[in-house]
Structure 1
Amino acid sequence: MIDVILKKGKEKAVLQRHPWVFSGALEKIKGKAENGEIVRLLNNKNEFLAYGFYNHQSRVALRLLEWDENILINDNWFRNKVSSAISSRVHILTNGETDTCRLIFSESDYLPGLIVDKYADHLAVQVLTSGMQNAMPIIIDELKNLLNPLSIFDKSDAASRAHEGLETTNILLDGTPPPQLVIVKENGITYGINITEGQKSGFYCDQRDNRKILASYAKGKKVLDCFCYTGGFTLNCLQTGASWVTSVDSSALAIETLYENIRLNKLPANLHNAVKADVNNQLRQLKENGEKFDIIVLDPPKYAPSRSALTRASRAYKDLNRLGMQLLTPGGLLATFSCSGAMDMETFKQVIAWAALDAGKQVQFIYQFHQPEDHPVRASFHEGEYLKGLLCKVW
């Protein structure tokens, strides 16, 4: 095993079990390590620190796996991590209400760069690191042993793979090709999931709890669901008796699937309208039309992929929320989210406060939304806490 030497004074994060080591923290490499190879990380006194995946192309040169020198990183190590992650989610999937969730959440489940989502009897995986790409034969075999899925589909189409020297993929790894719509249940609501063509791995199961919480306010209310995708918030609000829901998304496929989901759940189509449009433009149009809503959901894509983008992203979040606030009835509710890991909750609150000031509104924060338990946050890896949201009463 090749040794990688850490610069003097760079041990703190490693000793605190943070799984990332940046390329600038490395002193030297004893030998030539291939991308994705498992190496030993040593301090400048040649004392063992950890084992990890190495990649010379990535800013994150090492993704650490194990801090005990006596534990070998072999096939059984990967199998045990996969088994442990899946067993911790069993209770989510055995209540009869839900058969979809995230089974493996990358660094937070000690498998850096691996995401596995379960959609009924099908699995969608995303592989974002070269080390995990090398381990995929073991991972696939263990997933088959534990779950016997009808298919395992690789949705590794994230642009971040380029940083690891990997091309994007969208292929069947095992089993028979999934149908165009895989039918799943979440909190008793039925969804058709397009694994092969949908965004990310096909569905956003990280909003499972938040959809249910928001829907508890929706009875008799007029709702605007922005960045609705295939209708998570829309369906939950209609199910609990919303008087009207308008859904907005720029994706024609998402809108088409949303209408299908309304049919699947036998929800009142006469109380709903979906609009294919840019959300910011649609919000301005609704304001010009004099429209008002009792509840507005703003769940945009990631505006800040890194800390360097945070200033620009903050302006985008502020403008979006200002537009939303202007469309609310007095005392209406704004459910606003950020899935940018670089945006912490306190900064997000400040951005909403600025938006309220620009909109001439008063805002009370009445609830904080979080990612659910199948998206755990590792104590030594706060970057895993990416989804945050606020339920705001706006006057």
Structure 2
Amino acid sequence: MQTEINVKVKQKYAGKLSKGFPLISKDALITENELKAEGSVIRLVDEKNRFLAKGYYGRQNKGYGWVLTRNENERIDQKFFDNKIRSAYEYRKGFYSDKDTTAFRLFNGEGDGIGGLTIDYYDGYYVINWYSEGIYACKDYIIKALTGTVTVKAVYQKKRFDAKGQYVEENDFVVGQEPVFPLIVKESGVNFAVHLNDGAMVGVFLDQREVRKAIHDRYSNGKNVLNMFSYTGAFSVFAALGGAVKTTSVDLANRSLPKTIEQFSVNGIDHTTQDIIVEDVFKYFKYAVKKQLKFDMVVLDPPSFAKSRKFTFSAAKDYKNLLKDTIAITEDNGIIVASTNSSAFDMKKFKGFIDAAFKESNIGYRLIEEFSLPEDFKTISEFKEGNYLKVVFIKKLKK
């Protein structure tokens, strides 16, 4: 790492940073002229030049970097990264011996002490997500720490730090022996076909593991299930294997059709017995109401922000209305799985959206159970935004 750069922090932010808040925001800095090259180590001091923390400079959304240590004497070198990766591995060691689940998160950003970095495990293959040029500047340290801690078949990377915070397209392979794709991994005994070399999203969102298991084990048997914003149909596969009479998967992306067919096929399910619909979800709601379609269970897992030709969706503004549309096509005593990955609001506010949607629909409801991030997605209490996942199972009552 480079020579440490002193950066002053406004007094009203100093206490927050010293108490464990990991994100270095633009607003917290008195000056930013010293910040030149992303990846530089920055030494944060208060307005009286008292040491607060060390971090790295890397622009990510509204952040200008992440705190790495509050020990003034700790060096940000190879040993530092070795210790962080080794500690993350020790925390998740039990996952490595689970033969029924061979895909999980090894390293979860600020939860494991390095914001802007995640590492996912897929049956011996690893995918590193870099969320700023600053953390990417530490690439050699981190890959050496990873390969020195665990046995690696191959490493892939996803650069997610262009001007809009999106994925940077390029050859993702870094080191090792490339597998034949699709690579088949397991989650709770169910197969997933993943493509580590095919863009930002490999085929499954690992943070929904416990939700999928609940759907399989407790909710889908004998049910007619609708999966909205279905992506590769993971919820549909778990519902079908859990005994669902029928699943319907709806997503606007053209690639969702072959991807969902693939996920059904690797689990021995005839995809022609299921409905896979490539269509605007908002348009499908209107179609379902017009045709008087009703479902025993609806899984509602939209992205935080989505845009189609006619609709723009923001979870923070529009989730309530999306729920109202969902309530209208759910059977009495049916289940709605309301999910969001938006960090713009907490579980309390999310439940407020749910309550408002049912009240405005003049329908009663009961909350059955709720989920947040699973154990491998480690978070810290000082950064509540990091625990972004909110999932609530809701029973729609009869009028």
TM-score by length of 1: 0.91
Deviates more, 1:133-142 or 1:177-186: 177-186
Tell me by how many angstroms 1:57 deviates: 8.8
Q: In structure 1, what is the equivalent of residue 371 of structure 2?
A: 369
What is the root-mean-square deviation of aligned Cα atoms in Å? Answer: 2.4
Secondary structure of the equivalent of 2:86? helix
- For 1:373, give the aligned amino acid: E
Tell me by how many angstroms 1:178 deviates: 4.3
Cα distance change of structure 1 residues 217 and 202 upon mapping to structure 2, 3 Å threshold? closer
Secondary structure of the equivalent of 1:10? helix
Q: Does 1:148 align with 2:151?
A: yes
Say whether the 8 Å CA contact 2:230–2:249 is kept in structure 1: yes
Deviates more, 1:273-282 or 1:166-175: 166-175
Q: Does 1:324 align with 2:326?
A: yes
Q: In structure 1, what is the equivalent of residue 102 of structure 2?
A: 99
Q: In structure 2, what is the equivalent of residue 24 of structure 1?
A: 27
Equivalent in 262, 266, 269 of residue 267 of structure 1 = 269
Cα distance change of structure 1 residues 323 and 9 upon mapping to structure 2, 3 Å threshold? closer
Say whether the 8 Å CA contact 2:68–2:113 is kept in structure 1: yes
Cα distance change of structure 1 residues 56 and 199 upon mapping to structure 2, 3 Å threshold? closer
Equivalent in 108, 113, 119 of residue 110 of structure 1 = 113
Secondary structure of the equivalent of 1:102? strand
Tell me by how many angstroms 1:321 deviates: 1.1
Tell me the distance in 2 between the aligned counterparts of 1:3 and 1:314: 37
Say whether the 8 Å CA contact 1:55–1:164 is kept in structure 2: no
Q: Give 1:238-277 correspondences, 5 Å limit.
A: 238-269=240-271, 271-277=273-279
Deviates more, 1:171-180 or 1:238-247: 171-180
Secondary structure of the equivalent of 1:162? coil
Tell me by how many angstroms 1:121 deviates: 2.4
- For 1:124, give the aligned amino acid: V
Q: In structure 2, what is the equivalent of residue 307 of structure 1?
A: none
Secondary structure of the equivalent of 1:346? helix
Say whether the 8 Å CA contact 1:154–1:169 is kept in structure 2: no
Tell me by how many angstroms 1:343 deviates: 1.9
Tell me by how many angstroms 1:165 deviates: 12
Say whether the 8 Å CA contact 1:248–1:277 is kept in structure 2: yes
Q: In structure 2, what is the equivalent of residue 204 of structure 1?
A: 205
Cα distance change of structure 1 residues 320 and 166 upon mapping to structure 2, 3 Å threshold? closer
Cα distance change of structure 1 residues 60 and 392 upon mapping to structure 2, 3 Å threshold? same
Say whether the 8 Å CA contact 2:67–2:114 is kept in structure 1: no
Tell me the distance in 1 between the aligned counterparts of 2:34 and 2:234: 51
Cα distance change of structure 1 residues 162 and 57 upon mapping to structure 2, 3 Å threshold? same
Tell me the distance in 1 between the aligned counterparts of 2:276 and 2:170: 31
Tell me the distance in 2 between the aligned counterparts of 1:167 and 1:295: 37
Say whether the 8 Å CA contact 1:112–1:129 is kept in structure 2: no
Equivalent in 131, 136, 153 of residue 134 of structure 2 = 131
Tell me by how many angstroms 1:31 deviates: 5.0
Secondary structure of the equivalent of 2:163? helix
Tell me by how many angstroms 1:95 deviates: 1.9
Structure 1, unmatched stretches of 5+, are: 305-310
Tell me by how many angstroms 1:149 deviates: 2.5
1:345-371 Cα deviation digits (max 9, x unpaired): 111111112222333322211111211
Tell me the distance in 2 between the aligned counterparts of 1:300 and 1:164: 19
Tell me by how many angstroms 1:167 deviates: 5.7
Q: Does 1:296 align with 2:304?
A: no
Say whether the 8 Å CA contact 1:210–1:370 is kept in structure 2: no
1:100-124 Cα deviation digits (max 9, x unpaired): 0011111111111111111112211
Tell me the distance in 2 between the aligned counterparts of 1:103 and 1:288: 46
Tell me the distance in 1 between the aligned counterparts of 2:167 and 2:291: 47
Q: In structure 1, what is the equivalent of residue 67 of structure 2?
A: 64
Tell me the distance in 2 between the aligned counterparts of 1:341 and 1:188: 30
Q: In structure 2, what is the equivalent of residue 308 of structure 1?
A: none
Tell me the distance in 2 between the aligned counterparts of 1:265 and 1:285: 30
Tell me the distance in 2 between the aligned counterparts of 1:165 and 1:223: 32
Tell me by how many angstroms 1:131 deviates: 2.6
Say whether the 8 Å CA contact 2:35–2:57 is kept in structure 1: no
TM-score by length of 2: 0.90
Tell me the distance in 1 between the aligned counterparts of 2:324 and 2:94: 40
Tell me the distance in 2 between the aligned counterparts of 1:57 and 1:350: 30
Tell me the distance in 2 between the aligned counterparts of 1:165 and 1:34: 20
Tell me the distance in 1 between the aligned counterparts of 2:43 and 2:370: 41
1:323-357 Cα deviation digits (max 9, x unpaired): 11111111100001010011211111111122223
Q: In structure 1, what is the equivalent of residue 191 of structure 2?
A: 190
Q: In structure 1, what is the equivalent of residue 310 of structure 2?
A: none
Cα distance change of structure 1 residues 171 and 165 upon mapping to structure 2, 3 Å threshold? closer
Secondary structure of the equivalent of 2:305? coil
Cα distance change of structure 1 residues 138 and 369 upon mapping to structure 2, 3 Å threshold? same
1:26-76 Cα deviation digits (max 9, x unpaired): 224695642220021111222211101124797422411100112211111
Q: In structure 2, what is the equivalent of residue 120 of structure 1?
A: 123
- For 1:362, give the aligned amino acid: G
Tell me by how many angstroms 1:377 deviates: 1.7
Say whether the 8 Å CA contact 1:364–1:392 is kept in structure 2: yes
Cα distance change of structure 1 residues 140 and 120 upon mapping to structure 2, 3 Å threshold? same
Cα distance change of structure 1 residues 57 and 172 upon mapping to structure 2, 3 Å threshold? closer
- For 2:395, give the aligned amino acid: K
